């Protein structure tokens, strides 16, 4: 089948195949900025957009599961315990439930996970293979969805929200740090970082690089949430 043809296993990072999806994302962001007034006033269109994004992400994710299982059988790495998988599902729930509380938790995770994934592009297949469409499609959709809620809904975070989001992510990371060796998995990259970024922390040694990585993520959470930070420092 066209979308599952192994001959498309030709993806190379930092080529046009890598650039085009990013340009599509930028175009979508520009469009919602241009039409933000219309979208804010049209609640029906807002609901259609939210539901469409959420359903598309979940459907693509489950097709990906089916494809991997059909080729290699079930693998524990498929469990949705990575930052991007958790961000995708929480973003979908945020869109379905129209939940500002969930948004305040997932926003920094989604921005960090999607941007890092779009830059690193840990991918083997090029267009039009399904894996290419799934990888760029889902990462861009949950990034776009969170930006949509900021631009169209005007949702913001306080620093209390930032600390809460960081604490929840840290708690999940501690659990996964203990579980990864038992499952022989690398969820949240807590066992091994992608080689493209490993040099940033590997110099700290085997015992301390995870600490440096966690601190780095906390700093990133603060940075990506800064543009949407509520002026009232700890307002609920």
Domain boundaries, the chain: 2-228
Residues 93-130: pLDDT tens digits?
A: 999 999 999 999 999 999 999 999 999 888 999 999 99
Give the percent of the chain with pLDDT over 90. Answer: 74
pLDDT-derived band at 232, boundaries 50, 70, 90: low
**Two structure tokens written together for 36:** 């933000």
pLDDT at 231 over 70: no
- Residue 233 confidence (pLDDT): 53
Coil vs helix vs strand at 229: strand
C-beta of residue 24 within 8 angstroms of C-beta of residue 140: yes
- Residue 204 confidence (pLDDT): 76
pLDDT at 220 over 80: yes
Residues 47-83: pLDDT tens digits?
A: 999 999 999 999 999 999 999 999 989 999 899 999 9
CB atoms within 10 A of CB 189: 17
Helices (H), the chain: 16-34, 36-41, 43-72, 83-97, 100-120, 130-151, 159-183, 195-202, 209-225
- Residue 193 confidence (pLDDT): 79
């Amino acid at each position: 089948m066209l979308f599952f043809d192994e001959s498309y296993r030709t993806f190379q990072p930092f080529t046009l195949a890598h650039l085009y999806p990013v340009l599509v994302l930028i175009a979508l962001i520009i469009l919602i900025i241009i039409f933000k007034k219309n979208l804010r006033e049209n609640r029906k269109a807002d609901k259609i957009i939210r539901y469409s994004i959420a359903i598309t992400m979940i459907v693509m994710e489950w097709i990906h599961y089916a494809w991997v299982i059909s080729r290699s059988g079930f693998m524990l790495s498929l469990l949705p315990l990575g930052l991007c998988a958790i961000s995708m599902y929480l973003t979908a729930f945020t869109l379905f439930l129209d939940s500002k509380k969930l948004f305040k938790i997932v926003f920094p995770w989604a921005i960090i996970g999607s941007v890092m994934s779009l830059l690193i592009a840990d991918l083997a297949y090029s267009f039009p293979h399904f894996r290419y469409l799934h990888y760029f499609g889902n990462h861009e959709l949950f990034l776009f969805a969170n930006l949509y809620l900021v631009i169209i809904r005007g949702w913001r975070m306080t620093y209390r929200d930032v600390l809460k989001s960081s604490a929840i992510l840290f708690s999940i990371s501690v659990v996964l740090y203990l579980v990864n060796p038992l499952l022989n998995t690398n969820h949240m990259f807590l066992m091994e970082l992608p080689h493209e970024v490993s040099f940033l922390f590997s110099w700290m040694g085997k015992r301390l690089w995870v600490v440096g990585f966690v601190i780095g993520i906390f700093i990133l959470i603060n940075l990506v949430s800064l543009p949407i930070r509520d002026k009232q420092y700890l307002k609920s």
